Amino acid sequence: MSLADSVLAVNNDLPIRTDAPVHSGKVRSVYWLTAADSARLIAERGYDVAADAPLAIMVISDRISAFDCIWHGEGGMAGVPGKGAALNAISNHWFECFRQQGLADSHILEIPHPLVWIVQKAKPVMIEAIARQYITGSMWRSYGKGEREFCGIQIPDGLQKDQKLPELLITPSTKGILEGIPGVPAQDDVNITRADIDANYAAFNFRSPEDVDLYEKLLREGFDLISDRLAALDQIFVDTKFEFGYVTDKSGQEKLIYMDEVGTPDSSRIWDGAAYREGKVVENSKEGFRQLLLNHFPDPDILLNKDRMPERQSLARDNALPTEVLMEVSRTYTGIAEKIIGKPVSISDNPKAEIIDILRRDYGLVD
């Protein structure tokens, strides 16, 4: 079997029983189960959710996106070997740590396969919850242009690129297009302040003003937990994005949970500690792939300039990246995953066949 065969690139064509369209994002596809299958699994598996809660099968792929495009390699390699398994393994690890420390639950109910989650439907909070411990990336670019206020927070003069910030900064942005919020443009991914959230908490899907405090507490506690445990591995947790939502448990209690993914190389920057102390930044996250793309193409402005999106899409479609580029990314993802979980990442030779077999045999979800 070739290397390309071990990559799960297309994940929206599995024969999972559903009566709704498959929702396919950049990396994950979501299959909403029928009401009958959801109710059956809740009863059979004893999930702590309402008896009529909608459930879904979430299948992660090995696709890699950067600069809002999906990239591919030579020889039909339409993703990065081991990437999906590494991302899921890292998220599973941190979600379990959060539970053990009494922080909050996640939307995951069960993990039938390294590339698969069974999840409950959550009502998402419409905020990309971003926390920053170092000044780099877009924040550094803005700072270099003279900006000293980010999401309502004043930043001191005199900071250097990649320097640790005086304190952990929470710099939220909108998730999706939100209409009718004073002072907040109706477009995706707009920076907002804590005051914006407090004044319009219901528009962001918070149940109460107290839950705004809780979201920020869970964000800080989750960040600190991951940061401390990565530090023990001599890795630096630079910045990250969390997402939150509401679910209802078996007793009818609504609760705020972590959702999507946490502490992964896709949602976070992670730097090697030893290299940083020597004045170098070595990325153990997707940022390394972004830098690689910027260096690979002669005109990096195509990747950075949103006005050149058609050219960027053509670049991604028409250029197969060298196999070694994707294997370097694979080593980054599986390497940091194995550090975090303390064992090798399980990589399947034929992931699609395995997933179908397990969901048919053990869950009765494939006809």
Does residue 295 fall inside a structural domain? no
Q: What is the pLDDT of residues 54-91, one digit of tens each?
A: 999 999 999 999 999 999 999 999 999 999 999 999 99
99 and 115 together in one domain: yes
110 and 156 together in one domain: no
130 and 179 together in one domain: yes
**Average pLDDT, rounded, for the chain:** 95
Q: What is the pLDDT of residues 203-234, one digit of tens each?
A: 999 999 999 999 999 999 999 999 999 999 99
| 109: phi then psi, degrees, rounded to nearest 5 | -100, -35
What one-character DSSP code corresponds to residue 170? E
190 and 110 together in one domain: no
Report pLDDT for 5.
74
CB 221 within 8 A of CB 170: no
Q: Which two tokens stand for residue 244?
A: 């939150």
Amino acid at 219: L
211 and 133 together in one domain: yes
Tokens 């459930």 map to which residue?
55
38 and 101 together in one domain: yes
The domain that holds 83 is classified in CATH as 3.30.200.20
Q: What is the pLDDT of residues 228-286, one digit of tens each?
A: 999 999 999 999 999 999 999 999 999 999 999 999 999 999 999 999 999 999 999 99
Q: What is the pLDDT of residues 118-175, one digit of tens each?
A: 999 999 999 999 999 999 988 999 999 999 999 999 999 999 999 999 999 999 999 9
What one-character DSSP code corresponds to residue 49? S
Q: Which of 277, 302, 331 is the C-terminal boundary of a domain? A: 277
As a whole number of angstroms, the distance between CA 6 and CA 250 comes to 39
20 and 90 together in one domain: yes
Q: What is the pLDDT of residues 31-44, one digit of tens each?
A: 999 999 999 999 99
Q: Which two tokens stand for residue 310?
A: 């058609």
Angle at 17 between CA 85 and CA 40, to 5 degrees: 95
Number of continuous H segments (helices) and E segments (strands) in the chain: 11, 16
61 and 162 together in one domain: no
231 and 137 together in one domain: yes
27 and 143 together in one domain: no
How many structural domains comprise the chain?
A: 2
The domain that holds 213 is classified in CATH as 3.30.470.20
The residue ranges of DSSP E strands in 201-267, in sequence order, are 235-248, 254-259
Report pLDDT for 197.
96
Quickly count: other Cβ atoms within 10 Å of residue 270's Cβ.
29
108 and 140 together in one domain: no
As a whole number of angstroms, the distance between CA 193 and CA 119 comes to 31
Q: Is the pLDDT of residue 345 over 90?
A: yes
Range of the domain at 204: 124-277
Does residue 299 fall inside a structural domain? no
Q: Which of 252, 277, 302 is the C-terminal boundary of a domain? A: 277
| 63: phi then psi, degrees, rounded to nearest 5 | -60, 150
55 and 129 together in one domain: no
Dihedral sign, Cα of residue 61, residue 65, residue 69, residue 72? negative
Reading phi first (left if > 0) and then psi (alpha if -120 to 50, else beta), residue 357 is in alpha
Q: Which of 235, 261, 277 is the C-terminal boundary of a domain? A: 277
Does residue 327 fall inside a structural domain? no
Q: Which two tokens stand for residue 252?
A: 């009818």
